[in-house]
Amino acid sequence: MTQINTSTSEKIILGIDPGTRFLGYGLLRINQDKVTILQYGVLNLTKYTTQGAKFLKIHERVLGIIEEFLPDEIAIESPFFGKNVQSMLKLGRVQGMVMSLAFSKSIPIAEYEPKKIKQSVTGNGNASKEQVAKMVEIIGNIKLDAKLHDATDALGIAICHHFHNKNISSTIKGTKKGWGAFVTENPNRIK
């Protein structure tokens, strides 16, 4: 079971948008409710011709990011069902590798579905990548490179985690616990 950080002290969240062609990453510093973007980027894996070479590069880069920034939490986009089963399997392998790195460093990891990420960041579960990027710019108070959609998606994943964790933390801190407390505290989110 993942331990949730309920303190208001500073923390670093690493967001990962997994991929076997492009892997996006983004790091946020959360201090109280202030969101600061520390770093973001895209690992271009298209020049590697074998899955083994791609996975080795992903392992090296993600491990390097973890060791450099020492994130307190990692958030990753969860698998989504697509028409291409092979692509989904490859994504699952990348996700498993990132999760394994997190577990090996005792870093809690959370997964979020694409629609949940878009909903959390933009208020619309069907938002475009451009809309997510624009809201990430507003939340992070920074101008981002518009060509790095995988990186802005990763930042969106980290922001989603921050918003989600904040809601869970407030429920845990309150006198009520669990889903019942969530329903009571958020009647407008129940359909």
How far apart CA 155 and CA 165 sit, in angstroms, is: 15
- Which of 10, 60, 73, 77 is catalytic? The answer is 77
How far apart CA 114 and CA 117 sit, in angstroms, is: 5
33 is catalytic: no
Task: Fill in the amino acid letter for 144.
Answer: L
Q: Is 146 left (phi over 0), alpha (psi -120 to 50) or beta?
A: alpha
Token pair for 183: 């329903």
- Which of 68, 113, 150, 153 is catalytic? The answer is 150
How far apart CA 148 and CA 103 sit, in angstroms, is: 28
150 is catalytic: yes
77 is catalytic: yes
Annotated catalytic sites, by residue? Answer: 17, 77, 150
